[in-house]
Structure 1
């Protein structure tokens, strides 16, 4: 993903900003800006789980999601420990499922502020319907089967609509449902986040509102990072799919060769 980075953790860093924006609200531009403002590594779930060399992160998020809704306090506390461990060394969060775990994040990081990235709802709803149609977990399980940590992503993608349905009473298969998710997400944040700690931010507005929310000096000399999340995701998604199909072709090709050799040998 051009300009999109999976940051390594920095020992001692602690979450100062909880990114509560829904996917497709310029979350990659948001974390790139936070990396500059907070001088530390942000954790964008989609990027970190997809681009990490280890399967640990994606498997941890899957386990966290599978615990919900919590059956008892012990299970909830176990989930909190997992979240804190995976975010150790990072200064900010963004992207689902972290943006749907705001109550847990507030409990772990009571000193952090919550910033919800926003976008024109009509445009956002159209984009979410498109991406929901593109990401078909059952098909992706097959395509990514030979691709390390990527093979686990469809499991996480399959769990997220269930979280949306639980929290907002809708998913994002249709434009009307997507709009309901958008509106109810903001309503939910206003119910659970103290008013003085909740900020809304559209990346189109540049540095000023973000700097004000973080109470840091206004950046004037550095251009605000503007990464095209939509095109980047669609491009990398197609690249992953092609790699997955090529690996299947290689595996099946080897299988045909081995079968042919075996057939000749047993004659």
Structure 2
């Protein structure tokens, strides 16, 4: 199951550069875009997504180190270690490092995937992920290294967003946050003479296929993945796994 399975085999010796940078924030059709990029019609597989970070403690450690690293040369080294072997990327952590990734992959297409309905809809959707800041989550899931990483990443993300996007703490996860991120992507791309494709899932296959020189599928709908119900199920499983782990530990302690 996505976000729990840690069985993706990536050839870290593959230095083929990433071809597509999905620059949009989480909850902006990132999983749908990932599915499209990995499809037989486009064929950019594997595509990095937070689903490949969450269950992998080693990747999580690299992300945390990159979020904390101030020196761009050392940060790029960490990011190459994370992204080597991937042909495309969407979602976090890429969305947080788009300035770095544009420098690291100068020929990659920049796709700014946006939330249908704009910032107000994004604010409602991103609330699904705020469990990562919850003391209940921290306590209940503490026994899992991967969950401790997720909680730590959330804190670091908020700090980096304030710095990169010039936001106050009260402006985080608001419409201003959404708009500031998208403006930042355009500004960073403009500094480097890069074009940005703004994309929403209702645009379908054509815009992506055109910029990538692929044939447009005519009889297959654009993928729809990771809707709100799926996210809620993931959170419930995380909490259940955490509770069971504490019960198992308690049983061992009391039996000795």
The equivalences for 1:237-252 within 5 A come to: 237-252=235-250
Instruction: Rate the CA distance shift 1:39–1:135 in 2: closer, same or farther, 3 A.
Output: closer
Q: CA RMSD in A?
A: 2.5
Instruction: Rate the CA distance shift 1:222–1:128 in 2: closer, same or farther, 3 A.
Output: same
TM-score (norm 2): 0.87
Q: CA deviation at 1:109?
A: 0.5
In the alignment, which residue of structure 1 is the partner of 2:153? 156
Asked if structure 2 preserves the Cα contact closer than 8 Å seen for 1:8 and 1:41, the reply is no
The equivalences for 1:28-47 within 5 A come to: 28-36=31-39, 37-44=42-49, 46-47=50-51
User: In structure 1, how many angstroms separate the alpha carbons of the residues matched to 2:154 and 2:227?
Assistant: 17
1:184 aligns with 2:187: no
Instruction: Rate the CA distance shift 1:130–1:88 in 2: closer, same or farther, 3 A.
Output: closer
User: In structure 2, how many angstroms separate the alpha carbons of the residues matched to 1:26 and 1:173?
Assistant: 25
Give CA deviations for 1:176-198 in whole Å, capped at 9, x if unaligned: 95100111111111111046521
Instruction: Rate the CA distance shift 1:87–1:197 in 2: closer, same or farther, 3 A.
Output: same
4+ residue stretches of structure 1 with deviation over 4 A? 1-7, 171-174
Q: CA deviation at 1:228?
A: 3.0
**SS of the residue aligned with 1:89?**
coil
**SS of the residue aligned with 2:111?**
strand
Point out the structure with max Rg over C-alpha: 1
The equivalences for 1:120-199 within 5 A come to: 120-121=117-118, 122-132=120-130, 134-170=131-167, 178-194=174-190, 196-199=194-197
The match for 2:202 among 201, 204, 224 is: 204
TM-score (norm 1): 0.83
In the alignment, which residue of structure 2 is the partner of 1:56? 58
Q: CA deviation at 1:32?
A: 0.8
User: In structure 1, how many angstroms separate the alpha carbons of the residues matched to 2:203 and 2:114?
Assistant: 11
Asked if structure 2 preserves the Cα contact closer than 8 Å seen for 1:18 and 1:94, the reply is yes
User: Gapped runs of 5+ residues in structure 2?
Assistant: none
User: In structure 1, how many angstroms separate the alpha carbons of the residues matched to 2:55 and 2:98?
Assistant: 24
The match for 1:218 among 206, 216, 219 is: 216
1:15 aligns with 2:11: no
In the alignment, which residue of structure 2 is the partner of 1:77? 73
In the alignment, which residue of structure 2 is the partner of 1:96? 92
Give CA deviations for 1:55-83 in whole Å, capped at 9, x if unaligned: 2100000011111xx2xxxx320110110
**SS of the residue aligned with 1:116?**
strand
Asked if structure 1 preserves the Cα contact closer than 8 Å seen for 2:128 and 2:231, the reply is no
User: In structure 1, how many angstroms separate the alpha carbons of the residues matched to 2:3 and 2:166?
Assistant: 35
